[in-house]
Each structure stands twice: as C-alpha cells, then as structure tokens.
Amino acid sequence: MDLTQAPTASELRAGPSVDSWNRRSSFLLFSTPAVGEEEMLEVADTLKSGWITTGPKTQQFEAAFGNRVGASSALGLNSCTAGLHLGLMALGIRPGDEVITTPMTFCACANVIEHLGATPVLVDVEPDTLNLCPKAVEAAITPRTKAILAVHYAGHPVDLDPIEEIARINGIAVIEDAAHALPASYKGRLIGSGDNPVAFSFYATKNLTTGEGGMLTGSAELIARARTLGLHGMSRDAWKRYGHGGSWFYEVNEPGFKYNMTDVQAAMGLAQLRKLDRFQARRREVVAAYTNAFENIDALEAPTERPEVEHAWHLYVLRLRLGALRIERNQFIDELTARNIGTSVHFIPIHIHPFYQQKYGYQPTQLPVAYESYQRMLSLPLHPMLTDADVSDVISAVLDIVQRFGR
C-alpha cells in the first residue's frame, strides 16, 4: 500500500492553509458496505429458487460460518441482539438475576438483560483495550450473579482466561458479544470456537454484512434450544414443514420469538464469507497506515493490539490527549466534518444514558475509565472500500487539525 503522499507531522508544522488540506470534493462516509457482483449473483440465485425465507441457503451459511470460526454449532438470526437475547435465555437468565457487563458497548447488551427482567451490572474497563476489566468483574460478583456478558470492543478480544476462571469459580456463565470480532482470536483460539454462546453481527457496517443479520455460536445443546426459541418456540421451521418430505405438523413447546435469518440474507453472507480474508487484509493495511501516522503524535493515542490476540479491526478508535489540544473532541469531529471526513463515536457509555441513570442511579464518573475515554474518543473511517487516497485524506485532515489546534 502506497501512502507516501500523506504529509508528515513535520511538514504540517510548516503551517499549510486550511484550504490546502480541504482537497476532497465529496464526503468520505465513515463506513461503506463492501458489496459487489458476487453478492448480487448469490441473492439472484436465491430469488430464482423460489425459497427466500429460512431454508437451504441459511443452512449452508450456518455450516460455512461455523466452519470458519471453528464452532461446534451455529444459528443464523436476524441480528446480533437476537443472539444475545437467545443466548441469555438458553443460559437460564431470569428475573432477579444479575449479569455483569461493560458500559463501553452498544445499548443492546444492557437492553436484552432488561428484557429478561434481570439486572445489568456495569463495571469499568481496562485503559488500553477498553474491554471488561477482570478485577472489576471479580469485585462485582454477588449471590445473584448468573452470567458475565463480555464484549470484544472494536474487535480486540477480551482477556477471556481470567474472566472464564472467575466464572468457573463462582459457577456462573460467560456469554460473548462478538459484534466487532469477526475474525478475531485470543491466544490462538478463534472467537466463537468454544462452548460459550457467542453472538456475531452482520449489520451494514460490520466486517461481514448481510444488510441486517447475526449468528449465535456455542455448544450443540445450547444452539438447539436457541433455535427453537428463535422461531416462536416451534418444533419445526418452515423448511422442515414445506420442503420436500416435510410435515405440516408442529408443536409450540414454549413462547418464543421471530428471530430467524432469511435465505436472502444468508446468500449475501455466503458471498461475503468467501471474501472475508481479503477484507481483513485491507483493514490491516489501513490500520497500519493510520498507526504509523499517529502513534508518535503527542496529542493522539492510537489503539492497541496485545501480543496474545489477533484483532479483527472493526473500529479504529483514536483517543485525543486533550491536554495537548486547544479544542475538545466534539470540535475535533466538527473540524473533520468540515474537511469532508466522516467519523463516529463508539460508544456513549451505557451508564450515562437517561434510562440507566434514572433506574440505577449511575453517575458519569462512577466508571472513570469508560467515561474519561468516551470524552476524548472518535472512530475514523475503516472499511475495505477505502482507497489509498481516502486514507491519505484522513491522515492529512487529522494531522492538520492537531497542528492547528495544538498547545
């Protein structure tokens, strides 16, 4: 990858005009799905087949995905949220239980715990990875604790060994949110390859997309129960009822949900899965260029990758060192927007959302690492569709802002 045209920090200190770096004629979207002819052909094949809901393509995708991550069993769903909900249900989480999780995640993680009548117990994160802190998890265990919901933030795996040891000692379960973590590995183990329930996301911005969609992996027994719960609690899905040799008869054994994946989604997923390694190689090229440009800049803290993991690099979360700047995070984002660079923030911590503040009395500084990091973080564009010129524009814009607003 040739990114030598991006200006260096020393070049920027010479003081170029704002206009000289505002070269983009169009806005660079924060994330663009990498969808091409292969996906279109797979979807067209499904549409022509006469079977577009859950059926043979979903079965193929479940098998192919399970094989890719080393899972013993996999269930295609309409979202990662559905996977988290079903995973917790299959673990037996019920009203009155407590589930320990992170504030540095999307609201779905806490919401599904609430939906089950359980209590989300938020604990702080580690300063480098922004993942769950095992010591904080251990300190939060009570007799009501029934599970730990670990989120692989930005694609960097959680430190699973100590968390799983805490769970083993206390007789509780671990469920993993891998919405960002395809493909990632921890100490040589692919995320999704164990017996823990692990929920993946195929939302439009994710490393693999089906537009909307998700996958739950885990033990065969757990996935079998989740499969029933995920389609109204019925004993037979549509393919088993209406396919060749199927039977119309079914029974509802418990009230379930409408969480099934469709064959149209699965068709996209099959094409995306074949390209995943190529997508990841490009993501790593972009990450390397960003980190090379930012890691020695006093005002910037580049994301980390611990030596024992393989990061999936769903997000590139840059943290500003505000003491070295004359502007705050929000103005930094505004400056990038003015230079036609799209960004986002991942995430607004759960404990400062009104519902969770009002119900549980959380104060922003109660989880200091998460709150302090939130105030200075932004996510830069990171996806396989970025060109070298796009990456150069992002680097140029960030360094220009640092030069102009540095102390």
In whole angstroms, what is the distance from residue 325 CA to residue 166 CA?
41
CA distance 209 to 271: 10
The contacts of residue 185 (CB under 8 Å, 6+ apart) are 157, 191, 309, 310
Query: Which strand (E) or helix (H) includes residue 267?
Result: helix 263-294
The verdict on whether 258 is a catalytic residue reads: no
Q: CB atoms < 10 A from the CB of 18, how many?
A: 12
Please classify residue 387 by burial: count the beta carbons closer than 10 Å to its beta carbon, then call 0-12 exposed, 13-18 middle and 19+ buried: exposed
The neighbouring-strand residues paired with 119 are 98
Nearest to 290 by CA among 358, 386, 191, 217: 386
Q: CA nearest 187: which of 68, 308, 310?
A: 308
Contacts of 217 (CB under 8 A, 6+ apart): 65, 66, 69, 71, 72, 73, 74, 75, 192, 193, 197, 198, 200, 223
| Nearest residue to 331 via CA among 343, 347, 317 | 343
Q: Which of 48, 57, 146, 206 is catalytic?
A: 206
Q: Is 123 helix (H, G, I), strand (E, B) or coil?
A: coil
For residue 377 the two structure tokens come to: 């973080």
24 three-class SS: coil
Sheet holding 377-380, edge to edge: 300-301, 316-320, 377-380
H or E segment to which residue 216 belongs: strand 214-218
Distance in angstroms (rounded) separating the CA atoms of residues 255 and 231? 9
Give catalytic residues, as residue numbers. 206
